[in-house]
Structure 1
Amino acid sequence: MDTVPLWVLMLALAVLIACSAFFAMSETALMAANKYRLRHLAKRGNRGAITTLWLLDRTDKLLSLVLIANTLINAMATALVTAIAILFFGHEESVITIATAVVAFLLIVFAEISPKVIGATYPERISLFAAVVLKPMMRAAKPVIWFVNLFVSSVLKGLRIQSGGNLHEHRVSPEELRSIVLEGGNFIPQKHKSILLNLFDLETISVEDIMTPRAQIEAIDLASTVTEIKQALTTCYHNKLVVYEGEINKIIGVLHVRKAVALLNQDDELTVEHFRELVSTPYYIPQDTGVFTQLQYFQENRERLGIIVDEYGEVQGIVTLEDIIEEMIGEFTTSVPGATRSDSFGWDKDGVCLLEGSTPLRDINKRLGLNFALDGPKTVNGLLLEQLQEIPDAPIALKMGSCVIEVVQVQNQAIKVVKLLRLGPAKRTS
């Protein structure tokens, strides 16, 4: 040691600190690396990504290599600084203590905190480089790693901790995946992000939330005259119509308008029975059926329109395949005149919004940034009737959450028009 120049000792110390920093930075980068991005790069043939995934599949051995190397290097750095202090200052205890403190400071700053921060900042970039170096080192140090892990396994068994060859991959829950989409920023186009978020919502809503209510069903009554049936066919806005006889709960089936219109061109005298022969069997859906489940049922049963009934068999409304698709990607078909679209209303400059009483609360929450409960009534009319417990016969207003709801018009035993007044700033959501 006496014959070794000081600059060689200092260079050796710098090399040891640099090696310690490399292992610390590599460990942090590998643990923080995005596995999904690495898999994407690996599928494209990136060798660094393939090697990184190989290491991450052997996390116990990887951590053993990094920690063994880091511990040995830090011990050598401490011993080297102590030797330098003794060489120049003798065996003074105070000098040795100061030297130990200095090397501890150097290791903490330059071999631990700084490299780990860098590793956490650029995890993929650093892990791709570090993996190329660590893989051959892991193979070379295999006997040492096995020997150390032999004792580690014994300790874990004593603590009744089950360990495997690699860390179990964390499965992403729907809520976590939703957060990933929300935080996607500019990486995901806004329209695509909206569709993905709507797909998550399909698991939480039922057909009752998106159905066309019973009062708004466009249907044909076979108890009416042929002239009235013709009038209904020539003025309808849908290609399939529900057919009933006398009363909406006595549904006979579904009539395809195109087939019915073909009858109108015949010279023979039409009767109600001609239309009855074209009616197909109705497809019924319980009102609590989930939207995503119903989408699968539509596909399996090759149906496009279902009649929603409650537990007593009473008709509540209808839902179509197009309704579910629009729930995912937004409005794209022609709506019936007078029907409320989810994107046709919003706050004006004074914080006021006029709505029809039949507007779904779910659409209001999404469009106006409100937070009405959805586990009870589905529309503004139902919500107000539940709160008032009577049909109001005069203008009345209620404060609910962050807005005031004023009844503007009542018609046919239902609240027809309401006005919402925003009390505080509301966050618009898509």
Structure 2
Amino acid sequence: MSTSLLLIAALIAASAFFSMAELSLAASRRLKLQQLAEEGDARAARVLAVQEHPGHYFTVVQIGVNTVAILGGIVGEGAFTPHFQAALGYLVAPERAETLGFALSFITITTLFIVLADLVPKRWSMNEPERIALALIGPMLGLVTLLKPLAWIFSLITEGLLRLSGRPVQRDNTITHHDILAMTEAGNQAGVVADAEQQAIENIFELDTRRVESAMTTRERIVFFSLDDDDALIRTRIADDPHSTYLVCDGEIDQVVGYVDATDLFQRVLRDEPISLRTCVGLVKKVLIVPDRLTLSEVLTQFRQALEDFAVIVNEYSLVVGVITLNDVMSTVMGSLVASHDEEQIVRREDGSFLADGITPIPDVQRALGLEALPHSGQYDTLAGFLMVMLRRIPKRTDQVVWEGWRFEVVDVDSHRVDQVMIARVAASEPEGDA
């Protein structure tokens, strides 16, 4: 009995070894292993190499697991059945004692293998995959070398079946931005990454999809100078509307001439020199003009290439629709890290509803409401644009649109511009669409 128990314990340990070797390799994070390899850990480099070509490795694992399972059944049946049968012989008939003894022996050996050789080792490997993989890679590679001929035959058969079924033979280790976002979300849930930091990372990846309209200063809010503005008017406008950069036009806003830095104007004011945009040489600088279909990522590229941080946005008719600065783009990325509560474009109210500006970017609306997508995506960039597309007209006060259980109600319109929108949950029975 003692010999059989020792043999069963050895088989359970062997099965646990193969289970841990299999799961730890599959669960090990490639980025973590690369970091360890760069720090000089040779074992991490070997784990990475096996992850690239895991065929022989997993073949040896399966050979070991199945061999141990078969031996465990044989040894377990012979070790426990006679003892259970003898004990039950005092309670039931011999024939029934034999049947019950075999059943109890099967249950006992199966329970031991499930708990000690499978569940516990795999749970351990899931919790510490890299540490387990590093510890077991040496012995496993030794077994792979020992059983290489047998492993080669099984791997060849396996790869042939995978190719016939049209499935990939090798593991795809490509890392996408979805993988990175999933990792940051996991870090946020673990308390390692703060909410604002996670939001900033998400915003960075959205630069490739957000168009300039979502971050620009719109046409009606642009403060600009005309070439013929006199000294007094310029000084008054600087005092009333302080900005770092001012657009300069020839009479009207669509006749763009260039821009002027506030620092240049302040220097002339401090030296008590007259300000004349038409005659002062070098005061008005050439401005970067970009189309309104660019994304924020493309605008950043334009800024870098032109060595500028200010641009005018025009539409296909060469009409000015807004201006954008490098600070506008970075504010979009940093989000709540730099924006105060008063500057938020969408605010959650105590009753669970939201009050949003019409110019709130669609990604911010989707994030606040937990929506994967909105209808007719790509035809608009802001909440006001969404309402226009859904209503097929200029929104008016009290206009409503219902989508995915949310009611979007226009509460304030200023000169055909959607200023404020109330967003609230609706009853499940309320039909979707415009009202």
CA distance in structure 2 between the partners assigned to 1:131 and 1:48 by the alignment: 6
CA distance in structure 1 between the partners assigned to 2:276 and 2:150 by the alignment: 92
Residue aligning to 1:144: 147
Alignment deviations for residues 43-75 of structure 1 (CA, whole Å, 9 cap, x no partner): 455676555445445522221222222333333
What are structure 2's unaligned runs of at least 5 residues?
86-93, 428-435
What are structure 1's unaligned runs of at least 5 residues?
1-5, 426-430
Q: CA deviation at 1:20?
A: 2.0
Q: 1:116 to 1:200 in 2, by over 3 A?
A: farther
Q: CA deviation at 1:199?
A: 1.0
Paired residues of 2:313 and 2:321 also in contact (CA < 8 A): yes
What TM-score does the superposition give when structure 2 sets the normalisation length? 0.77
Amino acid at match of 2:407: C
Amino acid at match of 1:403: R
Paired residues of 2:76 and 2:106 also in contact (CA < 8 A): no
Q: 1:110 to 1:147 in 2, by over 3 A?
A: same
Q: 1:378 to 1:29 in 2, by over 3 A?
A: closer
Q: CA deviation at 1:187?
A: 1.8
Paired residues of 2:55 and 2:155 also in contact (CA < 8 A): no
Q: 1:272 to 1:60 in 2, by over 3 A?
A: closer
Paired residues of 1:219 and 1:243 also in contact (CA < 8 A): yes
Q: CA deviation at 1:132?
A: 3.4
Q: CA deviation at 1:333?
A: 7.4
Q: Secondary structure at the match of 1:238?
A: coil
Q: CA deviation at 1:109?
A: 3.3
**Structure 1 residue 187 corresponds to structure 2 residue 188:** no
**Structure 1 residue 346 corresponds to structure 2 residue 347:** yes
Paired residues of 2:23 and 2:129 also in contact (CA < 8 A): no
Amino acid at match of 2:156: S
CA distance in structure 2 between the partners assigned to 1:8 and 1:126 by the alignment: 34
Q: Secondary structure at the match of 1:420?
A: strand
What is the aligned residue count?
410
Name which of structure 1's ranges 243-252 and 323-332 shifts more when overlaid on structure 2. Answer: 323-332
Residue aligning to 1:285: 290
Amino acid at match of 1:200: F
**Structure 1 residue 243 corresponds to structure 2 residue 248:** yes
CA distance in structure 1 between the partners assigned to 2:96 and 2:213 by the alignment: 80
CA distance in structure 2 between the partners assigned to 1:422 and 1:158 by the alignment: 54
Residue aligning to 1:3: none
Q: 1:46-125 maps to which residues of 2 (within 5 A)?
A: 49=44, 52-53=47-48, 55-81=50-76, 105=107, 108-112=110-114, 115-123=117-125, 125=128
Paired residues of 1:85 and 1:96 also in contact (CA < 8 A): no
**Structure 1 residue 22 corresponds to structure 2 residue 17:** yes
**Structure 1 residue 38 corresponds to structure 2 residue 33:** yes
Alignment root-mean-square deviation, CA: 4.1
Q: CA deviation at 1:107?
A: 5.6
Q: 1:48 to 1:406 in 2, by over 3 A?
A: same
Q: Secondary structure at the match of 1:187?
A: coil
Residue aligning to 1:256: 261
Paired residues of 2:362 and 2:383 also in contact (CA < 8 A): yes
Residue aligning to 1:403: 407
Amino acid at match of 2:217: T
CA distance in structure 2 between the partners assigned to 1:372 and 1:361 by the alignment: 9
Q: 1:123-142 maps to which residues of 2 (within 5 A)?
A: 123=125, 125=128, 128-129=131-132, 131-133=134-136, 135-139=138-142, 142=145
Q: 1:283 to 1:78 in 2, by over 3 A?
A: same
Paired residues of 2:315 and 2:321 also in contact (CA < 8 A): yes
**Structure 1 residue 329 corresponds to structure 2 residue 324:** no
Name which of structure 1's ranges 43-52 and 257-266 shifts more when overlaid on structure 2. Answer: 43-52
Q: 1:223 to 1:349 in 2, by over 3 A?
A: same
Alignment deviations for residues 244-273 of structure 1 (CA, whole Å, 9 cap, x no partner): 011111100111122123334556665442
Name which of structure 1's ranges 14-23 and 153-162 shifts more when overlaid on structure 2. Answer: 153-162
Match of 1:224 among 226, 229, 240: 229
Q: 1:69 to 1:366 in 2, by over 3 A?
A: closer
Q: Secondary structure at the match of 2:128?
A: helix
Sequence identity, in percent? 20
Q: Secondary structure at the match of 2:253?
A: strand
CA distance in structure 1 between the partners assigned to 2:137 and 2:205 by the alignment: 40
Amino acid at match of 2:22: E
